[in-house]
Homo-oligomer: A and B are copies of this chain.
Amino acid sequence: MSEFVTVCETGPRDGLQISKGIMPTAIKTRWIAAIAAAGVPMIEVGSFVPPKLIPQMADTAEITRRAVLLPNVTIMTLVPNLRGAQNAYAAGAHRISTPVSVSEGHSRSNINKTPAEAVEEVKRMAEWLKEQPRKVPLEAGCATAFGCSIDGRIPLANVIRVAVGLVEAGADEITLADTVGYGNPALIKETVRAVRAEIGDRLIGLHLHDTCGVGIANALAGLEEGIRKFDSSLAGLGGCPFAPGASGNIVTEDLVFMLESMGFRTGIDLAKLLKARDILREGLPNEAIHGNLARAGIPRTYACAA
Give the interface of A toward B (CB within 8 A): 147, 149, 152-153, 180-182, 184-187, 210-217, 219-221, 224, 240, 243, 245-247, 251, 253-254, 257-258, 261-263, 291-293, 295-297, 299-302
Contact = CB atoms under 8 A, between A and B. Distances in A.
Given A212-B258, A214-B254, 14 more contacts: A152-B300, A182-B301, A184-B261, A185-B262, A186-B261, A186-B262, A210-B292, A211-B292, A213-B253, A216-B217, A217-B220, A220-B221, A240-B296, A247-B292
A236 to B, nearest CB: 9
Nearest to A250: B213
Contacts of A181: 296, 299
Given A258-B184, A258-B217, A212 B293 contact: yes
A152 B180 CA distance: 38
Contacts of A295: 243, 245-247
7 A-B pairs with least C-beta separation:
A213-B254, A213-B292, A184-B261, A246-B296, A186-B262, A243-B296, A147-B301
Contacts of A211: 292-293, 296, 299
Given A152-B301, A187-B261, A213 B293 contact: yes
A173 B253 CA distance: 35
Contacts of A297: 243
A187 B261 CA distance: 9
Contact of A263 (B186, B219, B292): B186
A212 B300 contact: no
A150 to B, nearest CB: 9
A19 B303 CA distance: 31
6 contacts: A184-B261, A213-B216, A213-B258, A214-B257, A220-B220, A246-B292
